[in-house]
Structure 1
Amino acid sequence: MTDTMKTGWTDTSRASTPAVTGAEISHSPNLGTTKAEAMRHKCVLIVDRDREALDGLTYLLESMGYGVIATADTREALEIAERGLPDAVLIDIGSPHLEGLSVAHGLREIAGNRPLLLIALTGWGQPQYREMALSAGFDVHWVKPVSADQINFLLSMTFV
């Protein structure tokens, strides 16, 4: 695993390019032949205003072999996706204004017909929040805490 550095994201090669943003990427995915190396091609964007949660998820996904871009800013998440669509996005929708729901709409617009896995993370498990998340365009609604096994299973099945 390489050191985390400030960067932007380009769609054409999925390689990092220097930019002035608050987003962080763990490494530039490189071409490989093994399954573990192939997973490194997959980029997961994490959006969470809780810095500890953001750092923990980043570390977890990096240890599983994924490229990670992490940001605490929902507007920046959309800018990142416009520059280069990630393969999956984990968004904490538990912010006071439910900003994650509007981000899901924006990400779906940016993705168009391209595949994008949207995962809502929240402390709210009531049925109305699940319905709101799914209606907003999320594929999955998970109530925190989420286990490493759950994340690994979903991502590994999605990125096969």
Structure 2
Amino acid sequence: MSKRILIADDDDDALAGLANLLTGMGYEVALAGDGAQAVEVAVQFDPEVVILDLGMPLVDGLSAARQLRKMPNGHALMLVALTGWGQPQHREMTLAAGFDVHLVKPISADQLQFILSMLQP
């Protein structure tokens, strides 16, 4: 059974590129264009991993992460921030919002594979 990964990013090209990469690695992928949609999709899709951009309109990645952590299985999710924001205060913000990992764009396939290898089988 493949792992389910939800990706949320308001950049369509980034979303499509990451989705293609993950699908090619054998993951089942769902997509969202903003944080509010990510929370809605997560309820239906029940992902093991959620990769969130931080700077999205309407509901940003930090708010979405907080909402995801409040879901019944929210404690078990691996939350990954994938963002252009790489300053120390941004890392503190993601940690406080409940993210497990903070990655700065662009990310390589090797980096992504390594992070995802930390998932329990």
Distance of aligned partners of 1:78 and 1:149 in 2 relative to their CA distance in 1, 3 Å threshold: same
Q: 1:78 aligns with which of 39, 45, 67?
A: 39
Counterpart-to-counterpart distance in 2, 1:48 and 1:122: 9
Is 1:106–2:60 an aligned residue pair?
no
Tell me the CA shift for residue 84 of structure 1. 3.8
Counterpart-to-counterpart distance in 2, 1:82 and 1:158: 20
Tell me the CA shift for residue 130 of structure 1. 0.5
Distance of aligned partners of 1:127 and 1:96 in 2 relative to their CA distance in 1, 3 Å threshold: farther
Deviation per residue, 1:15-41 (Å, 9 max, x gap): xxxxxxxxxxxxxxxxxxxxxxx3x2x
Matched residue pairs, number? 121
Question: What's the TM-score once normalised by structure 1's chain length?
Answer: 0.70
Counterpart-to-counterpart distance in 2, 1:96 and 1:83: 22
Distance of aligned partners of 1:133 and 1:98 in 2 relative to their CA distance in 1, 3 Å threshold: farther
Question: What's the TM-score once normalised by structure 2's chain length?
Answer: 0.91
Is 1:141–2:102 an aligned residue pair?
yes
In structure 2, give the amino acid aligned to 1:115.
A
CA RMSD in angstroms, aligned pairs only: 1.7
Structure 1 stretches lacking a partner, 5+ long:
1-37
- Counterpart for residue 9 of structure 2: 48
In structure 2, give the amino acid aligned to 1:119.
V
Counterpart-to-counterpart distance in 2, 1:121 and 1:67: 18
Is 1:124–2:85 an aligned residue pair?
yes
Tell me the CA shift for residue 113 of structure 1. 6.1
Distance of aligned partners of 1:47 and 1:101 in 2 relative to their CA distance in 1, 3 Å threshold: same
Q: Which has the larger radius of gyration?
A: 1
Structure 2 stretches lacking a partner, 5+ long:
none
Tell me the CA shift for residue 43 of structure 1. 0.4
- Counterpart for residue 54 of structure 2: 93
Tell me the CA shift for residue 77 of structure 1. 1.0
Distance of aligned partners of 1:111 and 1:150 in 2 relative to their CA distance in 1, 3 Å threshold: farther
Which structure has more helix as a fraction of its residues? 2
Counterpart-to-counterpart distance in 1, 2:12 and 2:67: 23
